[in-house]
Amino acid sequence: MDRAEDRNAEAGGGRDTAGRGDVCWREWAVGGMDCASCALRIEGALKRLPGVSAITVAPLAGRMRLALDESLTAPAEVEQTLRRLGYVPEGETLRPRAHGGDHDHDHDHDHDHEAGTGEPWNRNAAVRLALFTGALVALATLAALVAPPSVAYWGFVLACLAGLVPVARRAWQAARAGQVFTIESLMTLAALGALAIGAAGEAAVVVFLFAVGEALEGVAARRARSGIRALSRLVPEVALVEEGGATREVAASLLQPGVFVLVRPGDRIPADGTIMEGSAGVDESLLTGESIPVPRGPGATVMAGTIATDAALRIRVSRPARDNTIARIIRLVEEAEESRAPVSRFIDRFSRLYMPAIVAVAALVMVAPPLAFAQDWDTWIYRGLALLLIGCPCALVISVPASMASALSSGARHGLLMKGGAVIEAAASLRHVAFDKTGTLTRGRPEVTDIVPLAAGTDEVLALAAAVEGASAHPLAAAIRARAEAGGIAVPQARAARAFPGHGVEAEIGGRQIGVLSPGAPRARAALADRAPVEALEDAGKTVVVVLADGVALGLIAMRDEPRADAAAAIARLKAMGLEPRMLTGDNARTAGAIAAPLGLDFRGGMLPADKLAAIAALDAQGGVMMVGDGINDAPALKQARVGVAMGSGSDVALETADAAILRDRVADVAALIRLSRAAMANVRQNVSLALGLKALFLVTSVLGITGLWIAVLADTGATVLVTLNALRLLAFDPARPG
């Protein structure tokens, strides 16, 4: 199963599994979700409803999406199930189920998915409960020192019950929804059991520590979300729109494509667009991490949220607010949470089996020694309750999602976008990195250096080539058109243009069939009697095209695209990381060699798209390969590779075609992306080891009677806190730093 199939399988594939016309995608913003345990609880409960399929729950986004057959289950019943579980459905949208493919991401709703993320920490319900329970435990402890034992005992009972009521309520709600074995149910059983055998003090401490753990989980979840949500605040609330020679303020959220806006020096740009007038240094640091303002002038694209530092700009809006670069980055990171890593899916399955097993073992510990060996009932019930508490899999369940969410957030802040944990896991284990040349290792802005006339004049060769390339988005085509425009060449009208992948483009002009072809194309080879001029230009590291008219070679056009400034250092860093980089390009071997040699890079030239696919498949079989391309003409290779990475300053293709995207157009960010992925997987291994190691240790000590109830819950809560804090370290991780 390839990556696309795997993602479809996990999300239900976007197919109408019920075969009904009334199956629709429904999406809710859900308040109260803090961690992966919440996602598992919601998924488990909703799967029991008839007509519900393809459930995806994203705690980072505070969003749930599912496919619903309304003839079997009404949306109100879904909302009621969420309320029974203790969550708050805050908003809902409807869209028809897409036929035969992926669902349509409709993000017209602009409500904030988060419940209370902006509230002060001490006004959060979980924090207030922890503080209240802690105060009662402290008072009961004080009473134990100065008052009769009965006063302290009932003080601890009160503290236990006060903190246990909301936990027990959630356990009951989950049980009604079909989720019997939950962390809340285990905690409720253990605390009530401790009260039953007279261990009120330890029961109160257990409940208090559990409340502290839940409060810390909530704080950590909001902290993980805040980095991404802060991006939405980069876009200004108002924009200066030009109308009839005057300007007026309008809400930036209302801007539509084609509108002209004026951005003053020091202002944030309110929308994605194209500069029509003015030149300025644009500060993109908060979006891409680029610390130095980037010069932008007429014709350059700019992104919403960036700052015009030193001059006014007149910009034509190219995208509505809901689809600007920042909005798409936020959506991509939130949706990436739904694409879970294989290790995360394994732990989910393991946890579902682990919880009932722990309950069974704890019950056996409680009854077997007293019944079989006449041991003391209170002692073994106590140990069984401790086993029940230490067996809570909370730390294990959140170990992977917490790391992945932090890595996705950290990557987005550094201009590295990855579509889920599966991409992170794959990128961390690669051995090969394959690069396209034009627009990837090179700047993607080649310039025409030579025009060699053969059977026509220089101007005619250039004019015909510019006409044929008129509709192409390829960087070489843009270079030819730019040279014709700069020379004031009149470009004729071309029609019936068609592309030949790997060979070039042809079109009809004035009754003649004009081609702009690679020298290696069969028709170009047949038309060139003398290949010496082509070879001389290619030896100089230039890309050559042949302009043909009805099979006659009219002339040659040579272009050169210089390597990116950071390419050589980036290739060296990849090698130092134990990776094997190489270049795969359609250019001839001599041109490819002229670019690859100073970079210290292995290469293969003269490759057709089918050749690239075969090469990618071979490399993938040798330990996994990442393909890095411009996201346009490299789409097949990007899909074939284990991880496809598109470069391209937030373009639609860069954000949507590949598995990951690099916003800053830096080759060095390829190494940064891999380094971040490796750091994330190392963090996952640390978390899993920590969670399982502490559990194994305290499971043994609890059964042997060395540790008691409050130590057991402290170990479980402590493991949860440590795992969460360890995952949050990734938020401060700088993937660009060597090391």
First to last CA, the chain: 35
- How far apart CA 92 and CA 677 sit, in angstroms, is 34
Strands (E), 45-112: 52-58, 63-69, 88-96
What distance in Å separates the CA atoms of residue 170 and residue 164, rounded to the nearest whole number? 10
User: Is residue 436 flagged as an active site residue?
Assistant: yes
Residues 6+ apart with CB under 8 A from 94: 24, 25, 26
655 CB contacts (<8 Å, ≥6 apart)? 328, 329, 332, 417, 646, 661
Percentages helix, strand, coil for the chain (3-state, rounded to 5) are 50, 20, 30
Q: What are phi and psi of 337, to 5 degrees?
A: -60, -25
| Exposure letters 440-456 (e unless 16+ CB within 10 A, then b) | bbbbbebebbbbbebeb
Candidates 16, 34, 436, 634; catalytic one? 436
The letter for the amino acid at 39 is A
Strands (E), 488-601: 495-500, 504-509, 512-517, 543-549, 552-560, 580-584
Q: How many CB atoms lie within 10 A of CB 367?
A: 14
> Considering just the CA atoms, what is the radius of gyration of the chain in Å?
31
SS3 assignment, position 73: coil
CA distance 410 to 433: 22
| Closest to 277 (Cα-Cα) out of 298, 302, 307 | 298
Tally of residues, the chain: 739
Instruction: Give the whole-angstrom CA distance, residue 284 versus residue 231.
Output: 12
Q: Which helix (H) or strand (E) holds 499?
A: strand 495-500
Pairwise CA distance, residues 737 & 311, whole Å? 33
197 burial level (CB within 10 Å; 0-12, 13-18, 19+) = middle
- Paired tokens of 240: 């200066």
How is residue 658 annotated by DSSP?
S
User: Which residues are catalytically annotated?
Assistant: 436
